[in-house]
Amino acid sequence: MFQTLYSYFWWERLWLPANLTWADLEDRDGRVYAKASDLYITLPLAFLFLVVRHLFETYVATPLAGLLNVKEKVRLKATPNAVLEKFYAATTKHPKQADVEMLSKKSGCTVRQVERWFRRRRNQDRPSLLKKFREASWRFTFYLIAFIAGMAVIVDKPWFYDLREVWKGYPIQSMLPSQYWYYMIELSFYWSLLFSIASDVKRKDFKEQIIHHVATIILISFSWFANYIRAGTLIMALHDSSDYLLESAKMFNYAGWRNTCNNIFIVFAAVFIITRLVILPFWIMHCTVVYPLELYPAFFGYYFFNFMMVVLQSLHIFWAYLIIRMAQKFITGKVVEDERSDREETDNSEEEEEVAKNGPLSNGHPVLNNNHRKTD
């Protein structure tokens, strides 16, 4: 049964145009072609990326955060309360009003104290500024290096200037060592992002990020199987061209360099919109949708590849909407912040009055020797 499924999966009509077989892509005369087995190396490389990332964040990003004076906000801690903690962990972090009233009776706290406790408890679970900075530093470093390496791989190739060259001789197109390593490193990195997504900073577009990583991994893998390598290298370099700008803007934002962050963000927004909403759909997707049909009839791989491109393009439109919203805030003089991030929750003004009069409170009672400042 396994052999039957294997045969169906690698059926040549799924991956290659008509009248072509895998035998046509066997290495010969010094010419090397992409093989599915090449991708096995990306899984151990992905775990190697996780190790390198840990070392980078510990020995490079953390000292850099200190040099840039990245400071944590002082967060007021929720007073230990078994009843509220059990509800928080087992039911929901955002109780409804009826739940708040029920918890108030069970815990012996007032309704306002229960609401305050949940705000502080949620803030405790939010990632620290240092964690955000370290992640942004790692991604900035990778995307910048990947973009420079990607441009070095494709800038001297004829298909970089003439997209019809992407399909010249397809699929009998041999692979260069630079293309091999560009693919392996990019795919390994996205595997590592998928493996670490549960422990990384979670944003409002968490589901979209998962879809993006999965779609990217599928696209890179499929383009390798079907020998869409020329198109694949163009697409990967195009994506890396704006990602490092976004991560650098985040780094300066966490460091409190608002003007630098805003200026980089404007450059990022322009590059993102030009590359993802203009070049990708009107040049690259036109190249993958129209030009192949001039050479061979459409087959499953053609439809599948372009469907996944549409998925990615839909995500780009969604993110462009968020970027434009942030750009509007910048133009109107408001503080630019990541629309995908959860905001810190603050205790309300009435509590501030209580603190000013009586000092910090624990379940409504003054607490002595509490060194926390009311800054979050």
CA distance to 51, 315, 365, per residue, from 117 (Å): 37, 36, 13
Where residue 353 falls among pLDDT bands split at 50, 70, 90?
very low
List 362's β-bridge partners, or say none. 365
**Separation between Cα atoms, residue 163 and residue 177, nearest integer Å:** 21
Pick the more confident residue, 307 or 200.
Answer: 307
Do the beta carbons of residue 33 and residue 243 sit within 8 Å? no
How remote is the C-alpha of 298 from its chain's centroid? 32
State which amino acid sits at residue 133: F
Give the DSSP H or E segment for 113.
Answer: helix 111-125
Do the beta carbons of residue 50 and residue 43 sit within 8 Å? no
Residues 59-107 have pLDDT tens digits of 999 999 999 988 777 777 778 888 888 888 888 888 888 888 888 888 8
In this predicted structure, the answer to whether residue 253 has a pLDDT above a threshold of 70 is yes
**Separation between Cα atoms, residue 245 and residue 197, nearest integer Å:** 21
- Fill in the DSSP letter of residue 25: G
Do the beta carbons of residue 140 and residue 251 sit within 8 Å? yes
Residues 275-293 have pLDDT tens digits of 999 999 999 999 999 999 9
DSSP string, 14-36: HHS-TT--GGGGS-BTTB----G
**Separation between Cα atoms, residue 267 and residue 244, nearest integer Å:** 11
Mean pLDDT value across the chain: 83
**Separation between Cα atoms, residue 261 and residue 268, nearest integer Å:** 10
Identify the pLDDT of residue 205: 66
CA distance to 54, 134, 242, per residue, from 59 (Å): 9, 10, 26
Residue 365's SS3 state is strand
Task: Give the chain's domains with CATH numbers.
Answer: 29-67+128-332 (no CATH), 82-125 (1.10.10.60)
CA distance to 78, 241, 372, per residue, from 368 (Å): 15, 54, 11
- Fill in the DSSP letter of residue 361: E
**Separation between Cα atoms, residue 284 and residue 304, nearest integer Å:** 16
Residue with tokens 């955000």: 132
Residues 101-150 have pLDDT tens digits of 888 888 888 889 888 888 888 887 777 888 899 999 999 999 999 999 99
Residue 77's SS3 state is coil
